[in-house]
């Protein structure tokens, strides 16, 4: 495996006992499930969108404010000083679904060959849950002071705010296939690669990378399929022959069997 560069990450930390970010910086609910602020009727004080008539046909019923429904997602998490396995093991013990991509390498230790398991993505792993659930670990400065969200920056009017990076389920599945293949010629880059961005979206239907959905392009002399996690990294498979590729239209599920 070759790593072209370390992933681009947000250097702001929450460690050292600092107070976690408030709602003004990172919304408590995911953007796609946030409810809009509704204007109130100046006379009744009731939302003009949700105002309902009472039994007399005139008196508005009290509007019940419902909390946004949080949906589980995969979140990219980062740690300091290579403690991703320690954080991963802690979350798994707490019954959190997590993914820690590794590779087994042979090293010489005290003059002897030894198999060593190393992280595919140094200082990074992934966990699935609602934002609230994952925040409870990210802001746990007692047990996990070295654990942080991997953030993406978005524009909100004239402000730039940061939000925890969500990884789509299909990308996590493809990432698992590429990383678990144990292929040595996998390339990890810390930025988007124009060749892959412009490539056709395909699904690998055979071989070691069967089930991977990504962009196809020739890179470093070989045809590869890349999983592009926007704002974080691009991970490209080893060589994949054209006979193993099929155009992906977005409706078909990847072939995982």
pLDDT given for residue 97 in this prediction: 97
> What are the structural domain ranges in the chain?
8-29+70-166, 168-247
- Tell me phi and psi for residue 61, to 5 degrees: -75, 155
pLDDT given for residue 252 in this prediction: 58
Q: What pTM was computed for the model?
A: 0.69
pLDDT given for residue 5 in this prediction: 41
Tell me the percentage of the chain whose pLDDT exceeds 70.
70
Q: Is the pLDDT of residue 176 over 90?
A: yes
Q: Where are the alpha helices (DSSP H) in the chain?
A: 84-93, 131-138, 169-180, 194-197
> What would the pLDDT profile of 193-246 be if each residue is shown by its tens digit?
888 988 999 999 999 999 999 999 999 999 999 999 988 899 999 999 999 999
Mean pLDDT in residue range 132-155? 93
- Right CATH for 8-29+70-166 from 1.25.40, 1.10.287, 3.30.70, 1.10.10: 3.30.70
- The mean predicted confidence, pLDDT, of the chain is 77
| 51: CB partners within 8 A, 6+ apart | 41, 44, 60, 61, 63
pLDDT given for residue 69 in this prediction: 52
């Amino acid at each position: 495996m070759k790593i072209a560069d370390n992933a681009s990450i947000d250097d702001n930390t929450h460690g050292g006992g600092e107070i976690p970010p408030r709602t003004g910086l990172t919304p408590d609910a995911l953007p796609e499930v946030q409810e809009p602020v509704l204007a109130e009727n100046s006379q009744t004080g009731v939302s003009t969108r949700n105002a309902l008539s009472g039994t007399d046909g005139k008196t508005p019923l009290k509007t019940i404010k419902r909390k946004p429904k949080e949906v589980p997602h995969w979140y990219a998490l980062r740690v300091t000083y290579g403690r991703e396995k320690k954080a991963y093991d802690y979350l798994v013990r707490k019954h959190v679904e997590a993914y820690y991509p590794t590779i087994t390498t042979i090293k010489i230790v005290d003059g002897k060959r030894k198999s060593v398991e190393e992280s595919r993505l140094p200082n990074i792993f992934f966990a699935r849950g609602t934002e609230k659930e994952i925040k409870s670990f990210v802001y746990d400065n007692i047990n996990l002071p070295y654990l942080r969200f991997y953030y993406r920056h978005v524009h909100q009017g004239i402000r730039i705010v940061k939000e925890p990076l969500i990884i789509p389920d299909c990308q996590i599945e493809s990432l698992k296939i590429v990383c678990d293949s144990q292929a040595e010629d996998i390339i990890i880059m810390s930025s988007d690669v124009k060749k892959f961005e412009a490539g056709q979206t395909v699904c690998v239907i055979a071989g070691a990378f069967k089930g991977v959905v990504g962009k196809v392009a020739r890179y470093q002399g070989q045809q590869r399929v890349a999983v592009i996690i926007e704002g974080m990294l691009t991970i490209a498979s080893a060589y994949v022959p054209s006979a193993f590729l099929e155009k992906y239209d977005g409706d078909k599920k990847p072939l995982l069997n």
